[in-house]
Chain A
Amino acid sequence: MTTTPQLNDNSALGGIRVLDLCDAKGVYCTKLLAEMGADVVKIEPPGGDPTRAFGPFVHDVPHPERSIFFLHYNTSKRGITLDIEAVEGQKLLKGLVEQADVLVETFAPDYLDSVGLGYPALTAINPGLIMASITDFGQAGPRRHFRSSDLVACAMGGMAHTAGDVDTSPLKPYGNQAYHTASHFAVMGILMALYHRNLTGEGQSIDISMQESIAAVLEHTVVKYFNQGLVPRRQGTLHWSNNFWVFETKDGQALLSTRQRWDDIVGWLESEGMAEDLADPRYQDPGFSAANVLHIIDVLAAFARTKTTAELVEFGQLLRLPYAEVRKVEELIDDTHLIDRGFWVPVEHPELGTTLTYPGAPYKAHRSPWRLKHRAPLIGEHNSEVFQGELGLSGEELTALREGGVI
């Protein structure tokens, strides 16, 4: 059974119930669904989710309710605790599945089947169920039992190979991008499956491999191999297209395009008497300019050192050059553009006695706005609301479950 849509609710996924059985790989997926308006119930093992042990902690005080990782990725969700390996826990989970539209899980392949909670068992309870499984290497294939992490997925998926410099090892780019990418593909799969279910009534299972998710976001990498037999290598900040490079400026660093809008670049350099030989018509030829990109970089580097980053970026952008400051993350928080667009969202956290500032919407939808609803749940915060209110358990039953370590 699915919940009745609330037509007066101006969110994309109002009325959709999602069960979240995710580790670090999938928490961003369920956060996105929650902020599109779904009612996401995060199911933690009794005592709290292992990701609550991830630092850093608010004011550097280690505590399961102060993990910045947990606080970031679990906003707008409700939270319950449940031991899904206990017989009674499984019964309760099945009761929740009956009322749910979507289940997202990140267990190793075959695990849920082994405890009697695989897709066939759950779809027998709720034929319209959409079940998304995010795993390291997918549900099938000879390496389905290989184990991975953000680092290993970036390596096996091909992202690390092209990052770094000629004199360094390959580099895993910053910030859980394998987890984010797997979560992104899971969200898209779920939104498509919901749309499909609207029209056909059918649920389905979705198999997301973290390795494949990374292999799907490599831009030129496999294109060059398929079409030219070339294996792209890492080359520092020089973009594979030879079009971008990070330069030292008078007061910092700026990303400048090296060939895009060539006439404007040369015109600007000439007006300052710093163009050297770049006005030579041979540079109009893409092959010639690509072959001489290191010389172009030398000329631009001498120029960049005479300007502040702001001078380069502001005047460059007036010339329609895609220039940017190489910013540190703390510099984004005071960015007037992001502030003007209302990007930052204050979220009250009464238990911590503070208001937390979160990054906001990934897109601005005018009718069904993305919305950060509330802080991450405390451990078992919604146990009685969900188990008593929605599954109809009595207070005594709830106490017995708690004492039995089931919740």
Chain B
Amino acid sequence: MRRKLPLEGVRVVDFTWILAGPYCTRMLADFGAEVIKVQSAETGERESAPGYNNFFNRNKLGVTINMASQKGRDICKRLIKVSDVVVENFSARVLRQWGLDWENARKIRPDIIVVSMSGMGHSGPMRDYVSFGPTLQAMTGLTSLSAFSSDRPLGFGYSYSDHVGGITGAMAVLQALNYRYRTGFGQFVDVAQQEGSAVLLSTAFLECTINGKPPQPRGNRLHHQAAVPHNIYPCEGEDRWVAIAVFTEEEWRSFCRAIGEDGWTRDTRYATVLNRGQNADELDKLVSDWTRQHTAEEVTELLQRAGVRAGVVQSAADLVDHDPQLRARGFWVQAEHPETGDTHLGVYTE
């Protein structure tokens, strides 16, 4: 007998589009919720890259409803009456105009959960600001701190904050479902995606408010723990790299032994983690001289066997075609859709 998925029996009306919202409802769908994605008949979703919409809307049902018409809105109300959750990422006024905001939706379905995922939230002076993932990353400091120096911010190169927004939205839905089970009450949740991303700056805020010392960009070096070497190093081949992170003195000795540089452990410049920290640039250069003579895969195997944390800087091709761990765990799933390869979530429930 097939085991029940955790969210079977939960029905979600999904008004979301682009990435953050669809990623949120995709996670609910992947774990058994019946997600009904509502789109206007005339406007399909803009495709930002081929396959993008498929990738982030798998496992959902799709309907088209003309929400500009009274009849369309009436059909939507009937849908809400038999649903548990509404998720949307419009600006605040859209649901109200349709008469489907929480105050109105609860008249149709008293225990409905409405989760609204906007960039800045439904209150505050910047509530109408337009934002995408890169906007939020810039506003929260993620872009300026992800850099090798403070005058040249680099950031992520993609919309990490949209994933964070989706995860925050899904957490909001899931906590509300648990609360409803205990009390019978639905509720409204105001997700401001900026806040979901800002909390991930974590200790940086206490560093500012308590010590008055805001963190500075440090590239791939570690901010707070003593760990040297701790960087990304060039390897044999074009644009091939390996990450190496040495934390303890035992790991340092294993590292030196593994790469045939036992002498480094006796060199006063590198004897302790403090010495290594003072001479980190010089040491990184020596480590690079060694890594350059090997493939990233060889370095990873050699150092992992020696108990040192190391890993190939994997590209999309590495992840999909060359990673034995992801393959053994069945991480990538080919869906039946003719054009699409697809991915697991990274959450496994047994």
Contact = CB atoms under 8 A, between A and B. Distances in A.
Interface string A177-213: 1001000110111011111101110001111110111
Listed residue (A329, A333, A343) with the most chain B CB atoms within 10 angstroms of its CB: A329
Contact of A158 (B194, B199, B242, B319): B319
Interface stretch (B64-72, B183-191, B257-265, B275-283): B183-191
A159 B154 CA distance: 13
Interface string A47-71: 0000000111011100000001101
B153 A225 contact: no
A204 to B, nearest CB: 6
Given A58-B211, A192-B31, A337-B126, A151 B148 contact: no
B175 A225 contact: no
Interface string B297-336: 0000000100111111111111110011110110100000
Q: Which of B188, B200, B344 has the most CB of A within 10 A?
A: B200
B205 A329 contact: yes
A359 B201 contact: yes
A1 to B, nearest CB: 17
B215 interface: yes
A54 B224 contact: yes
B289 to A, nearest CB: 15
B237 interface: no
A198 to B, nearest CB: 5
Contacts of B82: none
B329 A361 contact: no
A181 B50 CA distance: 26
Contact of A341 (B182, B195, B233): B195
Nearest to A185: B347
Nearest to B317: A231
Contacts of A209: 329, 346, 348
Interface string B1-43: 0001011010000000001000000010001000000000000
Contacts of B183: 7, 367
Contacts of B234: 169
A327 to B, nearest CB: 5
Contacts of A317: 126, 128-130
B220 interface: yes
Contacts of A165: 154
Nearest to B227: A149
Interface in B166-186: 167-172, 174-179, 181-183, 185-186
A363 B189 contact: yes
A331 interface: yes
A3 interface: no
A185 B346 contact: yes
Given A173-B156, A196-B4, A356-B206, A326 B144 contact: yes
A14 B183 CA distance: 11
Interface stretch (A216-224, A299-307, A388-396): A216-224
B243 interface: yes
A191 B148 CA distance: 38
Interface stretch (B93-101, B133-141, B266-274): B133-141
Contacts of B207: 56, 68
Contact of B232 (A14, A58, A155): A155
Given A147-B309, A155-B232, A189-B349, A220 B142 contact: no
A15 to B, nearest CB: 8
B215 A212 contact: no
B317 A195 contact: no
Contacts of B175: 12-13, 36, 191, 365, 368
Given A205-B350, A343-B195, 10 more contacts: A141-B324, A148-B309, A155-B242, A173-B142, A221-B319, A223-B49, A243-B134, A317-B129, A364-B191, A365-B175
27 contacts: A13-B178, A68-B203, A141-B329, A147-B304, A152-B309, A156-B314, A158-B314, A163-B157, A175-B200, A175-B202, A188-B347, A215-B326, A217-B163, A220-B158, A225-B317, A226-B340, A226-B341, A236-B157, A255-B138, A322-B130, A322-B134, A326-B143, A327-B138, A328-B141, A337-B126, A359-B199, A367-B185
Q: Which 10 A-B pairs rank lowest in CB-CB distance, beginning with the nearest?
A: A227-B51, A155-B243, A191-B174, A329-B141, A225-B316, A212-B346, A367-B187, A216-B346, A12-B175, A226-B341
